[in-house]
Amino acid sequence: MIPSDADYRRAVKLLRAGELVAIPTETVYGLGADAANPAAVAKIFAAKGRPADHPLIVHVAGHDAVDHWAEQVPDVAWELMESFWPGPLTLILKKQAWVPDAVTGGQDTVGLRVPGHPVALELLRRFAREAGEHAGIAAPSANRFGRISPTTAAHVAEELGERIPMILDGGPCRVGIESTIVDCSRGEPVVLRPGHIAPEHLEAVLGRRPAIETAQGAPRVSGSLAAHYAPRTPLRLVAGERLLDFLNSQRHRGGVCAVIAHSQPPQAGMPHPWRLLPADPVGYAHDLYGALRDMDHTGADLIVVESLPGDAAWTAVADRLRRAAAGAGQG
């Protein structure tokens, strides 16, 4: 999907006017506003129902905008930018004093990313030409707060269609889960949210594997709540060797399940809606949110997800599923 010149011009005009535009990235669709305009940023929180102390990620067109938004940028951050930008990596850095508290959740840090999606990059370049060469777009995922992140324009319309003036359609998202977040504001880099860029990828650049920290004391970042990415239907993780027995017990009790599996194809005559996802973490991540959204629409009493392998390659999707299970069924 390639937006027209008129689409880009309309999106820039809306952003310059302090309005919201849903934008595609390689990770998920974001709900964008002019990051330098606190009133525009406030509309993001209102549309999503997002608590005001949750920081947002600022998307910029290139490395040259970093010093405009951040100060005391360490060498390690520049190394990561050179290796992974444009791409699904967000860096947490000490913010410049002027950066609005609405963007940072009142913290002294800001999250920055150059997205690896041609439509997002083109929009950022056009926006910067009109709003200032280092302008940025604040853009959390374009969904109701705590719900499943959108990976297509149709998902955005389903979630927020009546709340936002424009969805810039860039086709399905290539990665399908949110960016890796690395904190570079406190010395040694620390992973605050796992994502498509795995610890081993970071180790190849840094020469050491960064710690993963989601405990208190770290800067607050997007997607770090215990309950997040959640369907409205209750969700339960079940080990693969127990999956069929569990489903049979649910059926005997009269329960209707919707199943997401990666190693167990449905048996003939199985009465449950069943989605078989790729058995590799990259393919699984790409398909996960769409599968959760589809299963949420089946009318099932319970979404049953086959537990994931325990090796490090599955860390990011396991993180998303844990949070989805914690928040599922609420509302």
- Domains of the chain in start order, with CATH, are 5-212 (3.90.870.10), 235-327 (3.40.50.11030)
For residue 225, pLDDT beyond 80: no
Q: Residue by residue, what is the 3-state secondary structure of 299-318? A: CCCEEEEECCCCCHHHHHHH
| Helical segments of the chain, H only | 5-16, 38-48, 66-69, 75-84, 101-104, 118-131, 153-160, 199-206, 243-252, 281-296, 315-327
Flag the least confident range among 77-91, 96-110, 219-233, 272-286.
219-233
Q: What is the pTM of this model?
A: 0.95
* Per-residue model confidence as pLDDT tens digits over 26-39: 999 999 999 999 99
- What's the pLDDT at 161? 87
Q: How confident is the model at residue 270 (pLDDT cuts 50, 70, 90)?
A: confident
Q: Which of 256, 215, 237, 257 is nearest to 325 (CA)?
A: 237
For residue 227, pLDDT beyond 80: no
